[in-house]
């Protein structure tokens, strides 16, 4: 393991302006050791119910735990030592992952094959899970990636790296759910490439951690690739959730749809920075960004930033960004139907993020997510889908 100094990004870096990096200066990044066999029973008891139709892969503090995982021919665990680092502030957490990862889960779905897989990243201290995914031409992968703090009040640190290459006309559906402890720091870096006619749909629900930062780079390298990116972030207390997504259109006739819904209550802060770059060769590109935030606290803060950087004329690009409060007319309508104020507010918050939550891939997962949101949205989350 390298003894090189740890260099973190700072808020002076443009793409990190809204990130909460304060708690990281004192953080311990060195990964926890592999879990003892005697701990596995306790960890198994904390895992969410299995999702029908999905194989399961369990990583504890970044270590693959075969005893809790399904054996799969398409998944190989390799031990990477000193994976090559990349330059730039946006790569700093990815580089920490490369330095500290305890192995890389390589998921290779062969051409025309299909796989439904749930990856559970359990953290007891610091961990650096790493997923390297390849979809062959025409392959289909439904991946649910969930992060869990082993104890609810743990100040865990998760720094995940996920790289994926989606082959020609392959389909990649990725659902990302965080079930972090109240003091947790959650960081991740995604690097994705979409080949000719490939499609990717990401649905992410961010809640629970004290601070989270999600950094993603997506590149349409093949023509007619399609990307749908749905993110819901729910902040409460003093939580701080920040996401940065950089999409590069490098090939013609590709499409990107981005939908962000953030709710900031209490003194929390939610932020989304969506940067679309359309290169000169990317004729016929279509992009649409819908970024909306709801402020539900006097000291809450929301930052949404749609950015378009276009180097060709033949492009259809639209974007909208709004920050507002609960709709008074909707609230009164619900009150006039006997709904108590707290429930009415919860329902409207639920409705606000429902565009994203409805995209979650399985009914069982939606129920589990709804149950997890019950604390933040009492009376609404579990009943709205009942």
Partner 1 sequence: MLVIKDLHAKVGDRKVLDGLNLEVPAGEVHAIMGPNGSGKSTLAYTLAGRPGYEVTAGSVSYQGRDLLALAPEERAQAGLFLGFQYPVEIPGVNNVYLLKAALNAARKHRGEAEVDAFEFLTLVREKMKVMQMDEAFLSRGVNEGFSGGEKKRNEILQMLVLEPSLALLDETDSGLDIDALKVVANGVNTLRSPTRAIVLVTHYQRLLDYIQPDRVHVLARGRIIRSGGPELARELEARGYDWVLNEAA
**What is the binding site for partner 1 (CB under 8 A)?**
327-330, 332-341, 343-344, 347-348, 350-355, 383-384, 386
Q: Which residues are CB-neighbours of 91 under 8 A, at least 6 positions away? A: 85, 189
- Comparison of 257 and 384: residue with beta carbon closer to partner 1: 384
Shortest approach of partner 1 to residue 360 CB, angstroms? 14
Tell me how far apart the alpha carbons of residues 319 and 250 are, in angstroms, rounded to a whole number.
20
Shortest approach of partner 1 to residue 344 CB, angstroms? 8
Shortest approach of partner 1 to residue 291 CB, angstroms? 17
Helix (H) or strand (E) holding 44: helix 40-46
* Residue 111 DSSP SS3: coil
- Comparison of 77 and 384: residue with beta carbon closer to partner 1: 384
Shortest approach of partner 1 to residue 255 CB, angstroms? 23
Shortest approach of partner 1 to residue 353 CB, angstroms? 8
- Comparison of 137 and 355: residue with beta carbon closer to partner 1: 355
Shortest approach of partner 1 to residue 299 CB, angstroms? 22
- Comparison of 89 and 334: residue with beta carbon closer to partner 1: 334
User: What token pair was written down for 257?
Assistant: 């749809």
What does the DSSP assignment read for 204-260?
EEEES-SEEEEEEEEEE-STT-EEEEEEEEEE-TT-EEEEEEEEEE-STT-EEEEEE
Contact 351, 320 (CB under 8 A): no
Within 10 angstroms of residue 355's Cβ, the number of other Cβ atoms is 15
Distance (Å) of CA 380 to CA 93, 134, 295: 36, 38, 18
- Comparison of 38 and 336: residue with beta carbon closer to partner 1: 336
- Comparison of 286 and 354: residue with beta carbon closer to partner 1: 354
- Comparison of 245 and 348: residue with beta carbon closer to partner 1: 348
DSSP collapsed to 3 states, 332-377: HHHHCCCCCHHHHHHHHHHHHHHHHHCCCCCHHHHHHHHHHHCCCC
Angle at Cα 108 formed by Cα 106 and Cα 110, nearest 5°? 170
């Amino acid at each position: 393991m390298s003894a090189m100094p740890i260099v973190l990004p700072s808020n002076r870096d443009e793409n990190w302006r809204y990130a909460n990096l304060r708690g990281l200066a004192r953080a311990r990044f060195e990964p926890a050791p592999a879990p003892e066999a005697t701990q596995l029973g306790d960890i198994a008891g904390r895992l969410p119910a299995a999702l029908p139709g999905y194989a399961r892969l369990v990583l504890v503090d970044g270590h693959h735990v075969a005893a809790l995982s399904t054996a799969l021919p398409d998944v190989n665990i390799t031990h990477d030592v000193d994976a090559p680092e990349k330059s730039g502030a946006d790569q700093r957490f990815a580089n920490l992952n490369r330095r500290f990862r305890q192995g890389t889960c390589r998921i290779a779905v062969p051409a025309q094959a299909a796989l439904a897989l749930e990856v559970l990243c359990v953290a007891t201290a610091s961990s650096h899970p790493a997923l390297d995914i390849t979809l062959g031409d025409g392959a289909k992968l439904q991946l649910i990636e969930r992060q869990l703090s082993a104890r609810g009040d743990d100040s865990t640190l998760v720094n995940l790296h996920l790289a994926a290459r989606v082959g020609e006309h392959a389909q990649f559906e990725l659902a990302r759910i965080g079930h972090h402890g109240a003091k947790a720091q959650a960081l991740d870096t995604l690097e994705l490439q979409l080949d000719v006619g490939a499609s990717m749909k990401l649905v992410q629900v961010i809640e629970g951690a004290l601070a989270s930062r999600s950094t993603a780079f997506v590149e349409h390298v093949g023509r007619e690739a399609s990307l749908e990116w749905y993110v819901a972030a729910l902040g409460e207390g003093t939580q701080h959730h920040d996401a940065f997504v950089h999409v590069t259109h490098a090939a013609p006739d590709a499409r990107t749809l981005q939908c962000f819904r953030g709710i900031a209550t209490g003194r929390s802060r939610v932020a989304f920075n969506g940067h679309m770059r359309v290169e000169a060769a990317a004729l016929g590109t279509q992009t649409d960004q819908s970024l909306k935030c709801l402020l539900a606290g006097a000291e809450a803060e929301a930052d949404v930033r749609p950015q378009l950087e276009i180097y060709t004329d033949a492009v259809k690009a639209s974007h909208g960004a709004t920050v507002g409060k609960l709709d008074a007319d909707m609230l009164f309508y619900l009150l006039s139907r006997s709904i108590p104020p707290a429930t009415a507010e919860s329902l409207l918050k639920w409705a606000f993020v429902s565009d994203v939550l409805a995209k979650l891939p399985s009914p069982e997962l939606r129920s589990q997510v709804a149950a997890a949101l019950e604390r933040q949205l009492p009376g609404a989350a579990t009943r709205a889908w009942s």
